[in-house]
Amino acid sequence: MALHGWTGKLLRVNLTEGTTTVEPLNEQWARDYIGGRGLGARYLYEEVDPTIDPLVPANKIIWATGPLTGTNASCGARYMVITKGLQTNTITTSNSGGHWGPELKFAGYDMVIIEGRAKQPVYLWIFNDQVEIRDAGHLWGKTVFDTEDELKAEVAQPDAASVASAPPAKIWSNSPPS
């Protein structure tokens, strides 16, 4: 049976081992849990112990597209990020738009599951079926805008590259600084 709107593949990235593998998407879950948020939450539910601390390497972060990502449908440029959240200690999701989600789908993946912890700063480079975990020491501590500019300068077609990045983290224990 066809998985309309899905590529049928996910990319698993193990930062501890420095490896990437391609796996088939769970077709039944893709049918039962609508969209990237639902499917990503199901994967997280199955793979992450609900009692773990959100900051340990056993937690995972999942970048997921939905079946309409990359189409001309309204909101067809969205993708989800799913993990066990620090503030809620439960499954938390965020969604974003732009080119990154459709480009992941065009590269042939419905989602990326990132697990483990790298020994040094790294970034994930995806170009169709070529996937690499690359050194990001030169990007550490930079702003989102500087990171995007530097990464685009490293590739052959900077205008065609899409970057998803996060600013340097600021974590507080009980409440945000005033």
Asked, for residue 74, whether it belongs to a domain, the answer is: yes
Q: From first to last of the 178 residues of the chain, give the pLDDT tens digit.
A: 467 889 999 999 999 999 999 999 999 999 999 899 999 999 999 999 999 999 999 999 999 999 999 888 888 889 999 999 999 999 999 999 888 899 999 999 999 999 999 999 998 988 888 899 999 899 888 888 888 888 888 887 777 778 887 776 555 555 555 5
Asked, for residue 3, whether it belongs to a domain, the answer is: no
**How far is Cα 15 from Cα 89, in angstroms, rounded to an integer?**
22
Asked, for residue 150, whether it belongs to a domain, the answer is: no
Asked, for residue 86, whether it belongs to a domain, the answer is: yes
What totals of helices (H) and strands (E) does the chain contain, helices first?
A: 4, 8
CATH number at residue 26: 3.60.9.10
Asked, for residue 97, whether it belongs to a domain, the answer is: yes
**How far is Cα 16 from Cα 160, in angstroms, rounded to an integer?**
30
Asked, for residue 154, whether it belongs to a domain, the answer is: no
What is the pLDDT at residue 1?
A: 45
State which residues form the domain around 79: 9-137
Q: Please name which of 21, 95, 32 lies closest in space to residue 65, comparing C-alpha atoms.
A: 95
Three-class DSSP category at 145 = helix
Asked, for residue 144, whether it belongs to a domain, the answer is: no
What is the pLDDT at residue 170?
A: 54
Both ends of the chain: CA-CA distance in Å? 55
Asked, for residue 168, whether it belongs to a domain, the answer is: no
- Domains of the chain: total: 1
